[in-house]
Structure 1
Amino acid sequence: MDRFLKKRMPIEFYLGVVILAMVLFFSATTDQFFTLRNILDLTEGYAVSGIFALGLFVVLVTGGIDISFAAVASVVQYAVASLLLGGYIDGALQSIVLALIFGVFCGLFNAVLIYYLNLVSIIITISVQSLLFGILMWLTNGRSIYDLPVWWTTQHEIFPFSIGDETYQIGLPFLLMLALTFITWLILNKTNLGRQLYAVGGNQESARRVGIRVGLIHLFAYGYLGAAAAIGGLVQVYRMGEVVPNALVGGELDVLAATVLGGASLTGGKGTVIGTLMGVFLIGILKNGLNLIGISSYFMNIVIGIVIVIAISITHYKKRKETNVGFA
């Protein structure tokens, strides 16, 4: 019995308990929550956040942090849309490739500044976010783009099915998020690169001593987040049918809180892909449920702030405790 009590359960177990409790609570308080339509809308609505969170998780694993992904996604979608309408590029393939190139470039730019110039990651990425978003709004005057190619905005029917008189389908954004989830899980859990990412986050100096090229690991992590930001930006346009330059910026803390809730450590070396997604949908369920029962959406900002403060406090406490043990 004592052995069972002392055994540490994985973070996914506790997340599952919390998610189940929230589902039961909101199902009991409103009949609009536990419906197939609402569940499918929820999965599609938070697919972009999930894509961002997967990229951010890879950076957090290495011990870094990047807040600029929403600004990168905004610039990518606006640039691609402008080039398409200007006739400089044509078709989905060219657009996706260009978006990925630009996203990866932004990630590599952050990595170079952070690692090779030894600058504080959160300060640099907040600055890059402000720079990119400021340039975007200045050049566009905040104008949205509506006249987009059909291939980008047409809602494709994927796995359509009917129950009674209602027709449903699994959304493309959700399927893309699942695909990126599998890729991220594969990299982190089944490759030597994944082991190196965790090693760098666990102890960067020790990783360097055993021959891991720490600089390249940081380049990969930030470049991966840049690619995820580009994908998320394109998916957001697909969902909304338009490019709104300020639609994504402002939700970075939601993504960070979800990733930390999923077990990622702000000091690196910890967390799982499944936990990250569970964190995203925990935030999504909470926001959706509060909205349906009539609670102000502004209340959610309080919850997000509390989550981040608690996460930082716990991380700092654990790090100080480990340091004290090491010197004992």
Structure 2
Amino acid sequence: MRKAARAYPVEIRLGLVLILLIVGLSLSTDSFLTLANLTSLLNNNAVNLIWAVGLLVVLIAGGIDISFAVAASVVQYLTAQVFGSMGGNWALGFLVAGGIGLALGLINAALIHGLGVISIVITIATFNAFFGLLMFFTRGRNIYSLPDWWRDRIFIFEHQSASGVWSELNLSVGVMIACVIATAILIRYTNIGRQLYAFGDNPEGARRAGVNIALMQAVAFGWMGIMAGIGGLMQVNIAKEVIPNALAGRELDVLAAVVLGGARLGGGRGTIVGCILGVMFVAITQNGLNLLGVSPFAFQMIIGAAILVAISSSNIRFDMGRLFTAPRPSEGRK
């Protein structure tokens, strides 16, 4: 336990905070710890977690991407155009949306590597370029005419309580689980994943060790693009329409969650568990404030303060193992 605590201090601290938060909300409101509310939390935040695991890979590689939410909107529009005049199914939908997202991610990677400019500057530029082109061609109009397979609700879990309250998990939760597992395999069990960590931690050292820098950037931003495309596909299934400007702004909540989960902005650090905990913290905080009737502006203040604490404490070493082990006799006499 002590070894794990030293290896994952941020995840353990955030996990403890989450437990306290859940206990506090459970005591404060009767509607928080209910099956209906918990399934609603999963449904409403599945897309954010899909994007979060993609962004985690980018942060591990030492980059940052703030264009993925707009890229997801572009994917939604182009996918709607592809399937607007033809049939299709979910398999083709994932291929088309993931392929378009991959292409947009590779554009970011090519610009970053080719121009030698830091990723935040490039993704700010592509954010504006993607959004401007999208609004120009769509003129801000929603798309309601979508294939039946894309609009139909698919449930992986349904339950009706004795009082008649429905609880359900939709397809987006199943897709989210698949994306989390795929990302965990990529960063933890593949040679490319190990190279991503090495590149993010020390780019020059990784380059001298033979790591292909262009490939690492392509993998990181390409994976983010795929997750953006898949998340955009699932968001349309939830909303039943394509809204060109609906996703702009959500990238900040996702970035906050991943940073809170322990991903270092400088690269080389980050875990799937921390990413999940970060998204859970943001989601539960927002949900709890809504149930308590607190102003939504308070949520932004709390998340802003949490990010400051997470970033400022990221370089402070905490011996979390001391929480789980008894002091030695010599330590107790001091």
- TM-score, reference length from structure 1: 0.90
5+ residue gaps in structure 2? 318-334
1:170 maps to: 169
1:36 maps to: 35
1:143 maps to: 141
**1:243: Cα distance to partner?**
1.1
> What is the letter of the counterpart of residue 119 of structure 1?
V
Matches within 5 A, 1:1-328: 10-85=9-84, 87=85, 90-164=88-162, 165-314=164-313
- 1:227-259 deviations in Å (ceiling 9; x for gaps): 000000000011111111111111111100100
Q: Name the SS for the 1:148 alignment partner.
A: coil
**2-side partners of 1:292 and 1:311: how far apart?**
26
Task: Report which stretch shifted further, 72-81 or 301-310.
Answer: 301-310
Task: Report which stretch shifted further, 10-19 or 192-201.
Answer: 10-19
Q: Name the SS for the 1:158 alignment partner.
A: strand
**2-side partners of 1:9 and 1:64: how far apart?**
22
Task: Report which stretch shifted further, 93-102 or 174-183.
Answer: 93-102
- 1:262-308 deviations in Å (ceiling 9; x for gaps): 11000000110111011001100000000111111122222233334
- 8 Å contact from structure 1 (residues 89, 95) kept in 2: no
- 1:130-150 deviations in Å (ceiling 9; x for gaps): 111121112212111122211
> What is the letter of the counterpart of residue 81 of structure 1?
A
**1:167: Cα distance to partner?**
4.3
Is the alpha carbon distance of 1:292 and 1:253 closer, same or farther for their aligned partners in structure 2, counting shifts above 3 Å?
same
- TM-score, reference length from structure 2: 0.88
- 1:203-241 deviations in Å (ceiling 9; x for gaps): 011111111112101111100000000000000011111
Is the alpha carbon distance of 1:168 and 1:305 closer, same or farther for their aligned partners in structure 2, counting shifts above 3 Å?
closer
**1-side partners of 2:55 and 2:7: how far apart?**
26
Is the alpha carbon distance of 1:159 and 1:53 closer, same or farther for their aligned partners in structure 2, counting shifts above 3 Å?
same
Identity of counterpart residues, as a percentage?
44
**1:162: Cα distance to partner?**
4.3
- 8 Å contact from structure 2 (residues 156, 174) kept in 1: no
- 8 Å contact from structure 2 (residues 36, 168) kept in 1: no
**2-side partners of 1:316 and 1:219: how far apart?**
29
Task: Report which stretch shifted further, 7-16 or 236-245.
Answer: 7-16
**2-side partners of 1:314 and 1:63: how far apart?**
19
> What is the letter of the counterpart of residue 264 of structure 2?
S
- 8 Å contact from structure 1 (residues 83, 89) kept in 2: no
- 1:111-163 deviations in Å (ceiling 9; x for gaps): 11112311121111011111111211122121111222111111113233444
- 8 Å contact from structure 1 (residues 44, 171) kept in 2: yes
- 1:2-51 deviations in Å (ceiling 9; x for gaps): x99x9565322211111111111112222121111000000110000000
**1-side partners of 2:276 and 2:61: how far apart?**
18
- 8 Å contact from structure 2 (residues 57, 220) kept in 1: yes
Task: Report which stretch shifted further, 87-96 or 16-25.
Answer: 87-96
- 8 Å contact from structure 2 (residues 93, 233) kept in 1: no
1:322 maps to: none
- 8 Å contact from structure 1 (residues 55, 225) kept in 2: yes
Q: Name the SS for the 1:32 alignment partner.
A: coil
**2-side partners of 1:116 and 1:212: how far apart?**
17
> What is the letter of the counterpart of residue 147 of structure 1?
S
**2-side partners of 1:104 and 1:34: how far apart?**
38
**1-side partners of 2:8 and 2:177: how far apart?**
25
Task: Report which stretch shifted further, 243-252 or 89-98.
Answer: 89-98
**2-side partners of 1:52 and 1:191: how far apart?**
21
Is the alpha carbon distance of 1:160 and 1:222 closer, same or farther for their aligned partners in structure 2, counting shifts above 3 Å?
same
> What is the letter of the counterpart of residue 152 of structure 2?
T
5+ residue gaps in structure 1? 319-328
